[in-house]
Amino acid sequence: MALFKGAGVAIVTPFKENYEVDYEKLGELIEFQISNKTDSIIICGTTGEASTLTHEEHLECIKYTVKKVNKRVPVIAGTGSNCTETAIYLSKEAESFGVDGLLIVTPYYNKATQKGLIAHYTAIAENVSLPIIMYNVPSRTGCNMLPQTVATLVKTVDNIVGIKEASSNIAQVAEIMSLTKGNIDLYSGCDELIVPVLSLGGAGVISVLSNIVPRETHDMVAKYLEGDVNASRDLQLKYIPLINALFCEVNPIPVKAALNLMGYKVGPLRKPLTEMEPANVERLQTELKKLI
C-alpha cells in the first residue's frame, strides 16, 4: 500500500529575517496545507532548502513537523546525502521521531555509478525499517538513476517502495513502470507532468505547486484516480502558466517569492540562493492574480 496517494507538498522552510528557522511560521504553513486537503507533508526536501540546513536544524524541522502534524497526514522526511553514512544517520534519527517514510535523493556531486546507487540505497534501507521513496532529479544532482537500477532495488530491497521521478523524461518513467510491472509507488517530481505520470500508473505527485494551490493540486490527482480524467487534465493545463512561473528561476526561489507575495511571510532564502529578479517577480505576480 502506498505511503500516500494524491498530492504531497514539498514544503518550504520559512526563515526569520536573521535566517533562523521560523518554526511558528512552519506550523502555520502545515495547518494551511492540511486544511486544504494536502495528502502528505514532505519536509526537508529540495524545496525546503535542506542543503543549507545544519544537521541539527534538519532534524529539528523533521521532529517539529511530526509533532505538529500529529498523524493527520503522512510525514515523509528528506534524509538523503551524497555521503551514505550521513544519509543513514539522518534516516535513523528521522525514524526515531516517528516519520512515516523517507525521501532519499540520489547522491549528488559524487556521480555514483549504477552499481554505486544500488549499494547506497541498499545500505540505507538495511539500517531503517521505514518505507523509502527514492528521488531521481538528475538536473540537480548530475546523476540519473536508470530504470533497470530502480527495478533492481524495488525487487530486491523490501522497504524500498517508491520513486519520485523528476527527470522530465516520460519515456524513462514508462520504462520504470514496465520493468517493475507497476509494482512501485510512482510520484511525479514535475508539476507539469502530473497527469502524464498518473496515466502510467502513478500514485500522485510530490509537489512545489502545492505550496501555492494545495486544494487544486490535490483535486488534480483525486479526480484522475476517481476516473474523471477530463477534469484532472483541465486542472493540469490551467496551472501550466503558474507552474512555468514557479520554475522560471531555480526552485525554491520563485515559490518562496510567491508565498511572500501572498502574505505568508516565509522570509528570505539562504545563500547561495538569492532573491528573484524583478522581471520574474512581475511574471509571477501576473499568474498569482489569476488565482484571486
For residue 135, indicate whether it is catalytic. yes
Which residue of the set 25, 68, 135, 223 is catalytic? 135
C-beta separation of 208 from 196 below 8 A: no
For residue 264, indicate whether it is catalytic. no
Kindly provide the b/e burial profile for residues 28-44, where b requires at least 16 CB atoms within 10 angstroms of the residue's own CB.
bbbebbbeebbbbbbbb
The answer to whether the bond into 272 is cis (omega within 30° of 0) is: yes
Which three cell numbers, joined as nine digits, stand for 77? 522526511
Q: Which amino acid is at 94?
A: A
Rounded to the nearest 5°, which phi and psi values hold at 71? Answer: 70, 10
Q: Cα(274)–Cα(255) distance, rounded to whole angstroms? A: 13
C-beta separation of 147 from 158 below 8 A: no
- Bridge-based pairing of strands 75-78 and 185-188 is unpaired
Helix intervals (H) in the chain: 23-35, 55-69, 84-97, 114-126, 138-141, 147-156, 170-179, 194-199, 214-225, 229-238, 240-246, 253-261, 278-289
Question: Which of 116, 105, 177 lies closest to 139, judged by CA?
Answer: 105
Residue recorded with cell 518562496: 256
The answer to whether the bond into 214 is cis (omega within 30° of 0) is: no
Question: Which of 38, 230, 100 lies closest to 91, judged by CA?
Answer: 100
Which residue of the set 164, 223, 239, 264 is catalytic? 164
Q: Which amino acid is at 63?
A: K
For the annotated catalytic residues, the residue numbers are 135, 164
